[in-house]
Amino acid sequence: MLEDVMIAPSILSADIANLAADLDAISTADYVHVDVMDGHFVPNLTFGPNVVKAVKANTSVPADVHLMISNPDEMAAEYAKAGADIVSFHIEAATHAHRIVSAIHEAGAKAGIVINPATPVSSLEAIIDDLDLVLVMSVNPGFGGQKFIPNSLRKVSQVRALAREHGVSPIIEVDGGCSAANAAELIEAGATMLVAGSAVYGKVDRAAAIAEIREAGRAGIAKRA
């Protein structure tokens, strides 16, 4: 049974000019979510390995790095070497997914795969045994503050079912539009970690916002089948 709800605030919504202070403000979180965008796989452009190093230098909260890049085959291990605790990449961008997972593990990090809203869960069938994390995108990647796509709940349930079928228990993470309003149903569906950007950084008291989402999510634990 899930022991507690994990929360990963996204620094995409933080004030990068005051990164150290904004990291300190989320010290009660389980992970810091770092959204890496290359301006090619997605239209936005954000952080490189040096930002991961800066995150690691300014907080003890583990770094959950989400690569929205067109060349994860070449770059995924570099983010692990920069200090990421988890590195996840999009299966839609990967040429050799198993090789990337192996490279991340060899560099000392946990490995995850991300699926976009239009990507079926069946795409994970051949690789889920090797994953530490599966990230279900509940918005289309590239920008913060988007509205949650309701069908994502069904996909979370499908990931959980696939993991059970294979006898594995990766972290099931959801990214996009997560808040206290939908935390319970996401956790009930099978999620174990929720990414929250504006739902945390849009509030004055970030610790209180984290606690609110976590507490809301706990209501979903008891309802799991």
Dump pLDDT digits (tens) for 146-197. Answer: 788 999 999 999 999 999 999 999 999 999 999 999 999 999 999 999 999 9
Residues within the annotated binding site for a divalent metal cation?
Answer: 33, 35, 66, 175
Structural domain contains residue 16: yes
CB atoms within 10 A of CB 79: 30
Dump pLDDT digits (tens) for 52-88. Answer: 999 999 999 999 999 999 999 999 999 999 999 999 9
Q: Phi and psi (nearest 5°) for 198?
A: -65, -25
Give residue 2's pLDDT.
82
Give residue 3's pLDDT.
85
Say yes or no to pLDDT of 4 above 80. yes
| pTM for this model (two decimals) | 0.96
Range of the domain at 37: 6-221
Strands (E), 47-190: 63-68, 86-90, 110-115, 133-137, 171-175
Say yes or no to pLDDT of 221 above 80. yes
- Work out the angle between the directed axes of helices 72-81 and 49-58 (0-180°, nearest 10): 20
Least confident of 56-60, 116-120, 221-225: 221-225
SS3 content of the chain, % helix, strand, coil (to 5): 40, 20, 40
Structural domain contains residue 179: yes
Structural domain contains residue 40: yes
Instruction: Find the CATH number of the domain harbouring 133.
Output: 3.20.20.70
Structural domain contains residue 110: yes
User: Number of folded domains in the chain?
Assistant: 1
Residues within the annotated binding site?
Answer: 10, 33, 35, 66, 142-145, 175-177, 197-198
Residues within the annotated binding site for substrate?
Answer: 10, 66, 142-145, 175-177, 197-198
Structural domain contains residue 1: no
Residues labelled catalytic: 35, 175
Share of the chain above pLDDT 90, in %: 93
Predicted confidence band of residue 1 (pLDDT cuts 50, 70, 90): low
In the DSSP assignment, the letter for residue 10 is B
- Cα(144)–Cα(15) distance, integer angstroms: 13
Structural domain contains residue 130: yes
Structural domain contains residue 73: yes
Structural domain contains residue 162: yes
